[in-house]
Amino acid sequence: MNSDLHIHTTASDGTMSPSQVVAEARFRGLQVISIADHDTTDGLEEALEAGRRQGVTVIPGVEISAADSREEVHILGYYVDFRAPGFQGFLKEPRLARSKRIPEMCERLAQMGIQVSPEEVFAEAGGIESVGRPHLAKVMLKKGYVSSMDEAFERFLADGAPGHVKRFKNTVDATLEILHAHQGISVLAHPGLLKDLDMIPYLVGKGVMGIEVYCHDHDQAMVDRLLSIAEKANLLVTGGSDYHGNMLEKSFKLGDLKVPSTCYEALERAVRKIREGSGLSRGD
Ligand code: AMP
Ligand code: FE
Ligand code: FE
Ligand code: ZN
């Protein structure tokens, strides 16, 4: 069973539409994928429908940016009851905050002689609400202000860089609470990118259910380290490529990352248990 449990689409900062992702996944021999866009589930209905048509299992997911006094983290939510109004309400404010900060960032860039209008950024993002820094970086690249996306981040957009503006995020506690209240499985995304791996036991204390072990950001030593942490803390182990199409300068294709099928199997077992416990029958 070939799987990839962390993929972005045009609903956030990916460059392929949900149906294009499903088609590409099928072409590349993946049987199971999860769409996990930043702070939005807007791509899920299309992906689920395309998955049904093309014989690819699509796990509904989301990747929520969550604030904490220690450091910001990205929490993946699998199988969450994403259609529930309460869950959608939770995602609304951070998404609006994403749109709101674009003019503020453009203003800062203008002070540094970089003329990028909010309209250009929103157009680059295709009018979605879950607009992100990559869309801004892309416009800067197209207009020749930087020679790579990485340069845009390093010089201007990365956290703390002169063009960066913070946006509202829900807290880790609130994120875990809403995911668990909606039958979601919470998984810490790309823990190898954390400033401090001690965040993992700290988040386990808060109830996080799993960690993403297999991903392109982790070398073998990191994978081994995370596997041992997961085993000791009895955590779910997942894996995903964090595919963004050609948005970022990472040169891998869907299916390049090898994710053991035990990851998907364990997720399935966990969700079955949650649904039995809550008396819900299996939906999609
Ligand atoms: P945002 O969602 O607006 O906070 O932008 C963060 C997104 O930018 C991440 O999810 C990545 O897709 C992308 N990204 C690419 N390079 C960087 C970088 N150096 N620092 C932060 N984000 C990056
Ligand atoms: Fe992203
Ligand atoms: Fe992430
Ligand atoms: Zn991601």
Strand-pair partners of 246: 244
Of all protein residues, whose CA lies closest to atom 21 belonging to ligand 1? Answer: 158
Domain with residue 183: its CATH number is 3.20.20.140
Q: Is the CB of 153 under 6 A from ligand 1?
A: yes
Atom of ligand 1 nearest to the CA of 132: 3
Give the SS3 label for residue 3: strand
Average pLDDT of the chain?
96
**What is the C-alpha separation between 156 and 206, in angstroms, rounded?**
33
* Of 38, 55, 58, nearest in space to 46 by CA: 58
Domain residues for the domain of 110 are 102-157
> Measuring from atom 19 of ligand 1, which residue has the nearest CA?
153
Do residues 98 and 128 lie in contact, with contact meaning Cβ atoms separated by under 8 Å?
A: no
Asked if residue 163 lies in contact with residue 105, where contact means CB atoms within 8 angstroms, the answer is yes
- Ligand 1 neighbourhood includes 134 CB (under 6 angstroms): yes
Number of domains in the chain: 2
First to last CA, the chain: 19
If asked whether residues 204 and 141 sit together in one domain, one would say no
Residue 215 inside a domain? The answer is yes
- pLDDT confidence bin for 111, thresholds 50/70/90: very high
280 C-alpha vs ligand 2 centroid, how far in Å? 32
Atom of ligand 1 nearest to the CA of 131: 3
pTM of the model: 0.96
What is the CB-side half-sphere exposure of residue 143 using CA atoms within 13 A?
16
Beta carbon of 167 within 6 Å of any ligand 1 atom: no
User: 205 and 139: one domain?
Assistant: no
Please report, as a single letter, which amino acid is at residue 155.
R
What's the farthest any 2 CA atoms get from each other in the chain? 58
70 in the same domain as 113: no
Band of pLDDT at residue 120, cut at 50, 70 and 90: very high
Same domain, 84 and 201: yes
Residue 98 Cα: closest atom of ligand 1:
3
Residue in the block written with tokens 């993992």: 200
- Looking at the fold, whether 150 and 221 belong to one and the same domain comes out as no
Q: How far is CA 85 from the centre of its chain?
A: 21
Q: Are 51 and 22 within 8 A, CB to CB?
A: yes
Residues 260 and 192 in one domain: yes
Same domain, 21 and 67: yes
The model's pLDDT over 136-180, given as tens digits with 9 standing for 90+, comes to 999 999 999 999 999 999 999 999 999 999 999 999 999 999 999
Residue pLDDT, tens place only, 2-39: 999 999 999 999 999 999 999 999 999 999 999 999 99
Alpha-carbon distance 88 to 81, whole Å?
A: 10
